[in-house]
Structure formats: structure tokens, C-alpha cells
Amino acid sequence: MSEAHHSILIVDDIPLNITLLRAMLRKAGYLTITAASGREGRRLALEQQPSLILLDITMPEEDGVTTCRILKADPRTADIPVIFLSALSGTDIKVTGFATGAVDYITKPFEREEVLARISLHLQMRERYVAVVRSQDTMYVKLNTAQRSMLPKPDEMPDAAFAVHYRAFHAAGGDFYDVVRGKDGCYRYFIADISGHDVDTSLNTSAIKALFHQSSTAYNSPTEIVESIHRGLMPLFSTSGMHMTGALIQLDRQTRTATLVNAGHLPAIHLSVDSHVSQVETEGDILGVFDELVLVPKTFEVQKGDRIFIYTDGLIEQNNLNCNRHAGIKKLMALCHTTSALPLQEAVNAISSRIFPIDTPPTDDIILLGIEV
């Protein structure tokens, strides 16, 4: 990118300094934006999104350190590089400046060659950073496409009678769900939450799917299925420090029974056809960590028209919702009850949007899976 495509925001309360820097930068081919105060500089940074900010430290009302701290705390301006300007050259002021997120420091009076060299260096570094981010975004989009293709869709399995809301924190997520029909005629619904949000976390979902399908094709009990997944995860997680929680529901519509195996996961929610809502809880260890796995399955009766909900903690424990686990589950149970008259997919969508509106950026992956007996 040429200098003419770069805009530099100059923030200084002394008009002479602005005039000198603006002339210097314009001669070098840069576009310039100017502000006489930190508050005005923050407003222009947000509106104009400059390529770089030259920020004076010693200004009245709001000094440059405060301005920089606020800029770096706002995701909309946090990535704009800031170079401090000051007549002060002591180590303390430089350390303070760098601690707030500045990338460099220029001492007054200005030397043209130094100013232009430092600006050029940091603009090049930002371009490389942006290129890396774009490359990662492209990779995540491809990974997301592959990951979503693995997740079953309700209309592809009508006999399974399930509905799901899935939303990843990144383009690809670490939360996972799957549905399979066993040879015994039962359906198995599995939901999992892998620790972390990086690429390795997302890639592990394909291994979990393979383990789930492999163990579900035989006449394995729900406990044996989860134990098989655990054994397969141990080699993957042993050196990474990762772990996984999971919940498996086996539903037998012939005998009207459901079995829950909970591996360190959240309780299931059972909504009866007469609108009684309750938690289904049982004990179990997290997966991929302990050599000896303890699981305590729980079987309960269901009736035609009952609904069972399983979910990941991102739905009820988002940092920006100020909601703890207990309160989140209570709210989820109440919404399961109030949406009971809606068709299952509509109910799942309504529950999810009321707990976590679609226009609110998530801080974790989200899954809500509803099952109808």
C-alpha cells in the first residue's frame, strides 16, 4: 500500500506542532487528520479509522496516556498503532506509554527522517499483521464450512425429532453435537464442550464424531459409548492439557425411557407434556483426563410429547450477560416452559434468542439441542 492510501491522525494541543507534522507527512504522501485534544482524537479515530496515530503525551484535560488507554480498550480502535510524541525523554514516561499499548515513542523537537522512518516501519508491521489476520479468517471460514458439514441437520433425520441452535465464538468452534440411530432402534444425542477456542480444538471435533459413530454402531450401552469416546481422546489430550465435558441422551421411544450419561457437563432439562419442567442430574468425570473414568448413568421415564434439552455453558454463562450458572439454568428452564406450545425448532430458536440475542457478540460457543419424544 502506498503512502497516499495511509491516513495519519495527529493529536496535539499545540498548533505549531500539528502544522509541522502535517506539512512533513503530506510532503511524504500521507493523508492527515488533526485533533487538538485527546477526546477529539478518540472521536476521529473511531470515525475515520486512521492507519496510525501520532499522540502527544502532555495535553490538558485528557493526557495522551489516558487517550491511548481508552483507544486500546475499545475493540474498534485497539488495533490502530499509536506512536507517542513528547518533549519528555525519561525512562519512566516511556515505560508508562508502552504499558498502555503504544508501539513507539518520538521525542520533540522532531527530526523528519526519524519521524518518517518510524511511521513507515509501523505501517509495514500493521500491514503484515492485517495480512496474517485475513489469512487466519480465510482458514477459519474453510474450517467452519468443513465443521458444519459434519453436524447433522434436523430435516435430514426427521425420525430423530430434534432441533438445534448452534453458534460458534470463532468461525470454527469447540462445541460439538451429533445424533445417531443405534442398531437397537434407539436414538443417541451427544453434545460436547472442548476446552479452548483455537484451531486444534476445532479439528478435534472430527475425531470425536468418528469415535461417537464407531462406538454407537455396536450394541453398546450409553455408558460404554462415552467410555469409548474417553479412551479415544486420551492420546489426543494427554500432551495438550485439553479436556472435554459431554452429555449423552439415549432415547427409546418404544419403551418410553431416556438414559442420561453426564461427563462433567451441565444437567439436562426435562419438559413433560403436562408442562412440568425439571433438571435431570447425575455424576460423571470430564473426558480425556483421568485414567479411571467414573460415570453414573440415570434412566428416567418419558411420555409422548415430552421434550429434553441439552446445551453447552456458552448459552447460560456468557461473560457479558453477568449471569452465573445457577441463574442461567433457572432462566433456561423457565423459557423451556414458556415456549412449550411452539414447534420444537421455533422453541429452540426463541429460547436461544431470548437468553442470548443474535446481535450480541458471544464470548463462547453456544449449542442448545432439543429432543421431542
- Which domains, and CATH codes, for the chain? 3-139 (3.40.50.2300), 151-372 (3.60.40.10)
Bridge partner residues of 84 (DSSP) = 55, 105
Lowest mean pLDDT, pick from 15-19, 176-180, 203-207, 363-367? 203-207
Q: Which three cell numbers stand for residue 281?
A: 442430574
pLDDT tens for each residue of 214-237:
888 767 899 999 999 999 888 878
- Distance in angstroms (rounded) separating the CA atoms of residues 80 and 72: 8
Strand partners, 181: 187
Identify the pLDDT of residue 157. Answer: 93
- Over residues 297-320, mean pLDDT: 89
Most confident of the following: 116-125, 146-155, 245-254: 245-254
Q: Which three three-digit cell numbers place residue 61?
A: 484535560
With contact defined as beta carbons under 8 Å apart, do 90 and 47 qualify?
no
User: What value does the mean pLDDT take over residues 303-323?
Assistant: 82
State percent of the chain over pLDDT 70: 86
Residue whose entry in the numeric block shows the C-alpha cell 419424544: 373
Return d(Cα 176, Cα 191) in angstroms, integer: 6
pLDDT at residue 293 greater than cutoff 50: yes
pLDDT value of residue 1: 46
The order of strands in the sheet holding 7-11 is 31-35, 7-11, 52-56, 82-86, 104-107
Question: Which is more confident, 317 or 17?
Answer: 17
pLDDT of residue 163: 97
In this structure, of 86-100, 118-132, 272-286, the range with the lowest mean pLDDT score is 86-100
pLDDT digits (tens, 9 = 90+) for 85-95: 887 655 666 67
Does the structure show a pLDDT above 70 at 199?
no
At residue 319, does pLDDT exceed 70?
Answer: no
Model pTM greater than 0.85?
Answer: no
What's residue 81's pLDDT?
93
On whether the CB atoms of residues 312 and 367 are closer than 8 A, the answer is yes
On whether the CB atoms of residues 347 and 334 are closer than 8 A, the answer is no
Strands 307-311 and 298-301: unpaired
